[in-house]
Amino acid sequence: MASWEELARNFLLEEEEEDEELFFILLPAVMPFLDEEKTPEHTSSLPGAKKVKEILEGHENWCKEEFRMEAEIFRAIANFLRAENLLRDTRGMKIEEQLGLLCSCSLIIQAQRG
């Protein structure tokens, strides 16, 4: 009868062989993605309305990350609010900037609540 240590050693060796087989299967599938050229996402140093405009016109993931919606949806909401007179551009802030600020604040609150 084999000892506990011997059984454990045999089990680990079998697991190691299975891991190596899995590695040789996964590696060719993952390799093409490792060489993909990445596009920078967060590149703005601008304040306010210019930053909102840059987010909406920039990398598609940037708007999704900053406002949790696609740029087209963000613009549609801003246009709806403008058309229904629910929000108005002010001297200091356009509707897009107001909506961006609301989205940013709600994300901060959501993150704090965890």
Condensed to tens digits (0 to 9), the pLDDT of residues 26-49 reads 667 777 776 667 666 556 677 777
Sequence ranges of the domains in the chain: 1-36, 48-113
Q: How many CA atoms lie within 13 A of 95 on its CB side?
A: 16
Lowest-confidence region among 3-7, 15-19, 57-61, 85-89: 15-19
Condensed to tens digits (0 to 9), the pLDDT of residues 71-113 reads 999 999 999 999 999 999 888 889 999 998 888 888 888 778 8
Find, among 77, 46, 51, the residue nearest to 66 by Cα: 51
Against a cut of 0.75, is the pTM above it?
A: no
| Cα–Cα distance measured from residue 105 to residue 107, given in angstroms and rounded to the nearest whole number | 5
| Cα–Cα distance measured from residue 78 to residue 100, given in angstroms and rounded to the nearest whole number | 10
